[in-house]
Structures are given as C-alpha cells and as structure tokens.
Amino acid sequence: MTASYRTVYAFAREMHPKTVKHDIHYGTAGFRTKASNLGYIMYRMGLLAVLRSRYKQGVIGIMITASHNPECDNGVKLIDPHGEMMEQSWEELATKLANVQDDELEATIKEIVQKYSIDMTVRVNILIGKDTRPSSPSLAKSVVDGVLALSGKPIDFGIVTTPQMHYFVKCRNTHNEYGIGTEEGYYTKLVSAFKRLRGDKFNNKNYVNKILYDGANGVGARKIKYFKERLGDCLEIELHNDAGIGTGKLNHLCGADYVKSQQLFPTGVPNIPNQRCVSVDGDADRIVYYYNDENNKFHLLDGDRIATLIAEYLKELVLACGIDLNLGLIQTAYANGASTDYITKTLKVPVACVSTGVKHLHHKALEYDIGVYFEANGHGTVIFSKNAKDKLNEAAKDNKLSEEQQQSAEKLLALIDVINETVGDAISDMLLVETILNAKGWNIQQWEQTYTDLPNKLLKVTVQDRNLLTTKDAERMCVTPEGLQEEIGLIVEKYNKGRSFVRPSGTEDIVRIYAEAATHEESEKLAAEVAQKVYELAGGIGAPPIIP
C-alpha cells in the first residue's frame, strides 16, 4: 500500500511534474485548456479515476477531448458507472487533486481515501478513450501512468467519440445488459434498431433518403464510416470534412458549434439548394441540421428543433399506446423562446429550464418516465425510466391491446435502442431524427414550418474575472455585479419580444450574452447593448463592444 503511494510521487516527479502555476478548475465538462498544459492533469485524473472506481465499486471511464474547441486545446472528463458525467461532489476533489504540488499528491490521495473509506485493495478497470487531436495519444499515456500508479487496470479504447465512451462504461457496469460494450456492439445496437424502425419503407411522401454529413474533421468523420457500411441503402450518408489525424483543421470553419454559433453554412460541404445537411462537433456529441434554400438563404434546425420533433413524435406514440407515461422536456435559457412556446402551448408537453451543461439537463430528465433534453447547441438525448421500459415491454406482448397499441409499444421499444441514453450522441440523434422524418414523410422544410424561431444573437465579452458574474434562476437572472440585472431589464424593455441574459462561460474566460427579439436587427442591437453593460459593470477588458 505505502509502496504504491510512493509510486504516485515518483511517477509525478519523474514523468508528469506540475507545469502550470495557476489553478485550473474542473469546469462544465471537465478540464479543458491548451494541450501542452495538460500532461500532469491527465496523470492526476488517472489517479482520481482509480479512487472513484474503488469507491463506486464500478468501472469508470476517462475521455480525452476538447470537443468543439480548436485543435491545439484538449481536455479530460470522467464518466461514472451509469455512463453519466461524474457526480458533482467529486468535481471539487478533481480540482483539488489537479492543483496541489507534486509532493502533496500522496497526502491528498490519503485524505480522499480516508474521507470516503476507500478500500485500496479492490481491483478496478478504467476505460480510456480519446478524440483525434494530435495531442491525445501522449495525454492518454499520462492517464495510463496515473491508473497504474494506484494499481488500477487501464483499458484503452483508442479513438472513439465521447458518447461511445459513455456507452462502453454503462455496458461494462450492466454486464452488457445495456448493450455489448465494444464498438461493434455499439454499431450493431443502433443500426439494427434503426433498420427495424425503417423496415422497407423509405422515401415516404416528401422524405428524401439522403443526407450530407459534416464530420468536423474529427472522430465523427471516422466513425460515421462504420455506420455507412452497416446502413447500406437504408440511409445514404455523404461524408464531408473527413481529415485524418493531424492533417485537417479540426472544427475549423465547420462542425456543429461553428454552424450553430456563427449561423453559417460550413466550408467543405457542397451547397445544394434544399439539401438536408448535418454537422457534428469534434467529439460527436452534438448535432445540428441545416440547409440553404434556392435563394441561398441559410436555415438552421438546432437542438431546440430536434427536441421538439422528438417530443412531438414520442407524445404521439405514447398516446397511440394508451399507456400512462409522463413526458417532459428539459431546456436551458438558450432555448429559443418560440420553441418553448410551441412545446408548452401546442404540444402541451411540460418544459423545465435548468443551467447550462449536460449534467444539469440529464439530472432533471431523470424525473420523468420519458425525459427529452436538448441544449440549443445540439447536445441532447432521451432517457426512459425503468417504469416506462417495463410498461412498454408488457404492452408490446399484451394481446388484450389493439394491434395499433401493440405496434406503437414496439416502435417505442425500438426507438429506445436507437437512442444512446447515457449522454447526447450526434450520430444516434441523427438516426432518431431520420426515423421520425421518414415516419412523418417530411422534408426539412416541413419540419421547419412547425414554428418560427425568434431571431437571436450570441456575443461574448472578455472580462478580468468571470467569477465576479453570478446568476440565479437557471442562469436567467444575473445576481452580481450589482445593478447589471436592472440595466439588462431596462434595455430589454425597449425591444419587441426582447429577451436577454448573461452568464459566465464554464469553459472559457469570458462572459456570454444571449439576446433574442422580433427582428434580426433588433436581436443584434439588443445583444450589443447588453454586452456594453457587461463590459462596463463586470470589468471588461480589450476593445469595448460596438452597437451595430
């Protein structure tokens, strides 16, 4: 025991010394910064994963990725046994372990072991995955050293998408009840459910069985090839932005985050009028749909659109089954006001608003029999409770029910298998959307016509210290700096259908501003006015924002 603790320090000192003086925090989605600063953090997260795994008596996952960030960044997050993000109470431990001096590592570990009464003799497996960033292989090596230093067993899954990692972890911990915990098992589960749902009926009415896919030059481009092989004619996927390791510009002028935040068509995808396109992000856990019309006008169908499409379809199927299941939709303050209106007033599905970050949405969604959650940026999934699954399984076999009822239950069961319930999964979400569009016989315009988005604008302001800005009410209200919320209120009042909020980013040293209003010009002006106030009252640095 003592020996392994000594290894911890020796490994740190000799191979993974702390190289950054300032503290770094476990943020919204783990640690994320310049890849060159992450070696020792990776090593320490390897250590933490072993502690967490022994404490939870389950397999823990580690994903190395910086998602939609530039290629020179990287990051790391831990995945808990059910395949969800690591419990929040351990984020503090992660931050502490990341920031202590090398010679304090042993003592910090001992403290954690004591506090949580961790049995350090338990054998544990840690699953490790990484995205396509050139820095990922060496960072993975540092993670492995951390796992070995505390006598855990690292299992390397190589290059995988973030949602694949979440899936693998859940499979291992459910002894493959959730699915087979290999890449092959993942493809087989999703593709066979998709084929079951599609049957031999496609090109249903206006549905066109072809999609252009922007892989963001990342892991999403690699993995879609395995889907293409298996899907065959069932869904024609034309792949673009598929650069190999280190050769393409990951997320540069392409990918889901670029398309959503810039509201622009990506480079590298052919511009064909009215052609349905999708972009995924650098670790393939986000997806957005879009097209250019015949006048070359860009139309975006983001996470809110996907959420409403899914919620509507699920509601129809649940009604057709005649089973009493409660369905809820979870959004964040970024959700377009028009989508929230449509969901509550037209679909009559209850909506909850929570803080930004997948863990908050996921957590809330667990309160429903069927919880649909999506961030506007395209990250989201659906979770089905055990109660829902049990009832559907019964209904599918219940001969007292009508044929239509039984078939609807069967459809819902197949949908569950297309969905990656552990976390938002771009490719799984795409298969789900394609299933629904095909079932409805809709083209992308028909989907878009369900409601009209309010024009909106995202801005950011660099500030001295983003922690000075605090919020409440699911980030919709600003608490400090004093007076800022009142000022925002006064500005918003001037705009027709105006809404705006500000929040400190959890991943960058900036404050984000969101604004929506009746017209494009108004939304831009509103965002800029609010940005100016943030700059003034929250310690903006650099050039002040300009009103258009």
Contacting range for Mg ion; rule: CB under 5 A; set: 83-91, 126-134, 279-287, 411-419: 279-287
Restricting to residues 460-519, name those near ligand 16G by CB under 6 A. 505-508, 512
| CA–CA dist 424, 404 (Å, integer) | 30
With vertex at residue 190, the alpha carbon angle to CA 395 and CA 258, rounded to the nearest 5 degrees, is: 120
Among 71, 281, 475, 524, binds Mg ion (CB under 5 A): 281
- Enclosing H/E stretch for 330: strand 327-332
Q: Kindly state the tokens that stand for 199.
A: 């049957």
| CA–CA dist 297, 258 (Å, integer) | 17
Question: Which residue's CB is nearer to Mg ion, number 84 or number 283?
Answer: 283
Question: Which residue's CB is nearer to ligand 16G, number 242 or number 375?
Answer: 375
398 sits near ligand 16G (criterion: CB under 6 A) = no
**Residues with active-site annotation:** 67
| CA–CA dist 331, 334 (Å, integer) | 8
The number of residues that bind ligand 16G (CB under 6 A) is 14
| CA–CA dist 333, 404 (Å, integer) | 38
| CA–CA dist 442, 87 (Å, integer) | 40
Q: Kindly state the tokens that stand for 61.
A: 């996952």
What is the largest distance, in Å, between two alpha-carbon atoms of the chain? 70
State how beta strands 499-504 and 510-516 pair: antiparallel
In the complex, residue closest to Mg ion by CB: 67
Among 379, 391, 411, 440, binds ligand 16G (CB under 6 A): 379
Question: In the complex, what is the shortest distance from the CB of residue 280 to Mg ion, in angstroms, rounded to a whole number?
Answer: 8
Among 131, 285, 425, 453, binds Mg ion (CB under 5 A): 285
Among 71, 312, 369, 375, binds ligand 16G (CB under 6 A): 375
CA 173: distance to chain centroid? Answer: 21
Question: Which residue's CB is nearer to ligand 16G, number 73 or number 410?
Answer: 73
Contacting range for ligand 16G; rule: CB under 6 A; set: 171-179, 318-326, 375-383, 475-483: 375-383
- Enclosing H/E stretch for 418: helix 403-418
67 sits near Mg ion (criterion: CB under 5 A) = yes
Could you tell me the end-to-end alpha-carbon distance of the chain, in angstroms, rounded to an integer?
Answer: 64
The DSSP symbol for 300 reads E
Q: Which does 149 bind (CB under 5 to 8 A by kind): ligand 16G, Mg ion, none?
A: none
With vertex at residue 130, the alpha carbon angle to CA 246 and CA 178, rounded to the nearest 5 degrees, is: 140
Tracing tokens 């290894």 back to the chain, one arrives at 7
Question: Which residue's CB is nearer to ligand 16G, number 464 or number 519?
Answer: 464
401 sits near ligand 16G (criterion: CB under 6 A) = no
| CA–CA dist 39, 107 (Å, integer) | 21
73 sits near Mg ion (criterion: CB under 5 A) = no
Q: Which does 28 bind (CB under 5 to 8 A by kind): ligand 16G, Mg ion, none?
A: ligand 16G
Question: In the complex, what is the shortest distance from the CB of residue 458 to Mg ion, in angstroms, rounded to a whole number?
Answer: 17
Bridge partner residues of 457 (DSSP):
515
Q: Which does 281 bind (CB under 5 to 8 A by kind): Mg ion, ligand 16G, none?
A: Mg ion
Question: In the complex, what is the shortest distance from the CB of residue 153 to ligand 16G, in angstroms, rounded to a whole number?
Answer: 26
Do 327 and 368 form a contact (C-beta atoms < 8 A)? yes
The DSSP symbol for 468 reads G
CA-nearest of 375, 345, 378, 349 to 362 is: 375
Question: In the complex, what is the shortest distance from the CB of residue 85 to ligand 16G, in angstroms, rounded to a whole number?
Answer: 7
Question: Which residue's CB is nearer to ligand 16G, number 97 or number 358?
Answer: 358
Among 45, 239, 254, 358, binds ligand 16G (CB under 6 A): 358
Tracing tokens 């919620």 back to the chain, one arrives at 311
283 sits near Mg ion (criterion: CB under 5 A) = yes
Bridge partner residues of 239 (DSSP):
213
Alpha helices in 419-455 (DSSP H): 426-440, 444-448
Question: Which residue's CB is nearer to ligand 16G, number 425 or number 453?
Answer: 425
CA 136: distance to chain centroid? Answer: 19
Among 74, 377, 456, 500, binds ligand 16G (CB under 6 A): 377
Q: How far is CA 87 from CA 26, 56, 178, 362, in A?
A: 12, 11, 21, 12
- State the binding site for substrate: 375-377, 503-507, 512
State how beta strands 456-462 and 125-130 pair: unpaired
Q: Which does 283 bind (CB under 5 to 8 A by kind): ligand 16G, Mg ion, none?
A: Mg ion
Among 67, 217, 279, 336, binds ligand 16G (CB under 6 A): 67
357 sits near ligand 16G (criterion: CB under 6 A) = yes
Q: Which does 475 bind (CB under 5 to 8 A by kind): ligand 16G, Mg ion, none?
A: none
28 sits near ligand 16G (criterion: CB under 6 A) = yes
- State the binding site for Mg(2+): 67, 281, 283, 285
Q: Which does 506 bind (CB under 5 to 8 A by kind): Mg ion, ligand 16G, none?
A: ligand 16G
Site residues (vs ligand 16G, CB under 6 A) = 28-29, 67, 356-358, 375, 377, 379, 505-508, 512
Q: In the complex, which residues of this chain contact Mg ion (CB under 5 A)?
A: 67, 281, 283, 285
